């Protein structure tokens, strides 16, 4: 089985976020980037297929040279090869178009992507990728087993879970549950050294228009001031809730 894992290069959730050019561009200065968490869950599941079923695992990213350390980390975790499509990921359609070319050229049986990236949270790419490649598609995937060309997946739905059966080729949009956080792998020194020797291929993008563009960004409103009331002073609390907050 030949597996491709799509890797997004996203800001660490602990990073302080700012915008430039009149709040129209994301400011990358001082920001630490990591593998998108949903993608990392998928990569870990792919490693299980590699170890238990002898699958080969490639990783792919659409982005500039600055994303290569993130791809190298994926290689250190255990992926066999990496592909970087040398294009700016301006919107979901353009990214899906680039990934579709890689999938079709590589003849992959299974493509695992994160349900969404934690930066733009678009959630568009996996579904469009499945449509562009003619593959079956399961989103919000929290469990995946494959035997031969048959796949059994469990996906999260409103109020419960749904078990589906399908066949390869398959695109999966995974999330926490496809593996647990405790299953995630930290690259060891041997993996880091081996990653330096593994192939990282840079390919040029195919022509694709961006169908959407970002107009501007806006930060959430700052939290308001907090007024503390002594736990014993119930009368003052009731007065504030009634006359100031006007919630009772």
- Cβ neighbour number for residue 206 with a 10 Å cutoff: 13
How distant, in Å, are the alpha carbons of 4, 60, 72, 203 from that of 67?
A: 17, 10, 9, 14
Classify residue 239: in a domain, yes or no: no
17 domain residue, yes or no: yes
> Residue 11: what pLDDT?
95
DSSP state of 148: T
Q: What is the largest CA-CA distance in the chain?
A: 72
Collapsed DSSP state (helix, strand, coil) of residue 153? strand
Among all chains, which residue has been given the structure tokens 């959730």?
13
Percent of the chain's residues with pLDDT above 90: 83
For residues 209 and 175, the answer to whether their CB atoms sit within 8 Å is: no
pLDDT at 144 over 90: yes
Q: How many structural domains does the chain have?
A: 1
Question: For the domain that residue 6 is a member of, what is the CATH number?
Answer: 3.40.50.620
Is 200 in contact with 82 (CB distance < 8 Å)?
A: yes
- Quote the mean pLDDT of the chain: 94
What pLDDT does residue 13 have?
A: 87
What does the pLDDT read at residue 40? 97
Residue 33 structural domain: 2-220
Give CA–CA dist 198/25, Å, rounded.
34
**Cα 116 to the chain's mean position, in Å?**
5
pLDDT of residue 219: 87
Note whether residue 225 is domain-resident.
no
Assigned domain for 227 exists: no
Asked if residue 106 is part of any domain, the answer here is yes
What SS3 class is residue 87? Answer: coil
Output the pLDDT for position 120: 87
Task: List, for residues 152-168, the tens digit of each pLDDT value.
Answer: 999 999 999 999 999 99
Q: Is residue 41 part of a domain?
A: yes
Digit-coded pLDDT (tens) for 108-132 = 999 999 999 999 889 999 999 999 9
Any domain includes 171: yes
247, two tokens: 């919630």
Inside any domain, residue 131? yes
Return all residues near 231 (Cβ < 8 A) that are at least 6 apart: none
Token pair in block for residue 36? 């998108």
The answer to whether 108 and 2 have CB atoms below 8 angstroms apart is yes
3-state percent breakdown (helix, strand, coil) of the chain, nearest 5: 30, 30, 40
């Amino acid at each position: 089985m030949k597996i491709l894992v799509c890797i997004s290069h996203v800001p660490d959730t602990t990073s302080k976020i700012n915008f430039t050019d009149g709040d129209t561009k994301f400011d990358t200065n001082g920001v630490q980037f990591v593998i998108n968490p949903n993608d990392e869950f998928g990569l870990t599941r792919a490693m299980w297929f590699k170890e238990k079923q002898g699958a080969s695992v490639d990783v792919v990213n659409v982005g500039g040279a600055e994303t290569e350390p993130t791809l190298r980390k994926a290689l250190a975790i255990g992926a066999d090869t990496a592909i970087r499509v040398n294009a700016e990921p301006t919107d979901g359609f353009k990214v899906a178009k680039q990934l579709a070319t890689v999938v079709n050229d590589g003849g992959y049986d299974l493509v695992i992507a994160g349900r969404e990236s934690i930066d733009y949270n678009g959630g568009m790419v996996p579904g469009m990728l499945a449509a562009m490649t003619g593959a079956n598609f399961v989103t919000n995937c929290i469990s995946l087993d494959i035997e031969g060309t048959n796949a059994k997946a469990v996906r999260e739905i409103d109020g419960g879970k749904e078990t589906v059966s399908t066949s390869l080729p398959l695109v999966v949009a995974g999330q926490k549950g496809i593996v647990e956080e405790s299953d995630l792998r930290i690259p060891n020194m041997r993996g880091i050294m081996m990653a330096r020797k593994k192939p990282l291929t840079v390919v040029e993008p195919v022509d694709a228009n961006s169908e959407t563009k970002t107009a501007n960004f806006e930060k959430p409103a700052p939290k308001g001031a907090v007024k503390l009331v002594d736990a014993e002073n119930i009368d003052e609390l009731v007065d504030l809730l009634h006359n100031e907050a006007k919630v009772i």
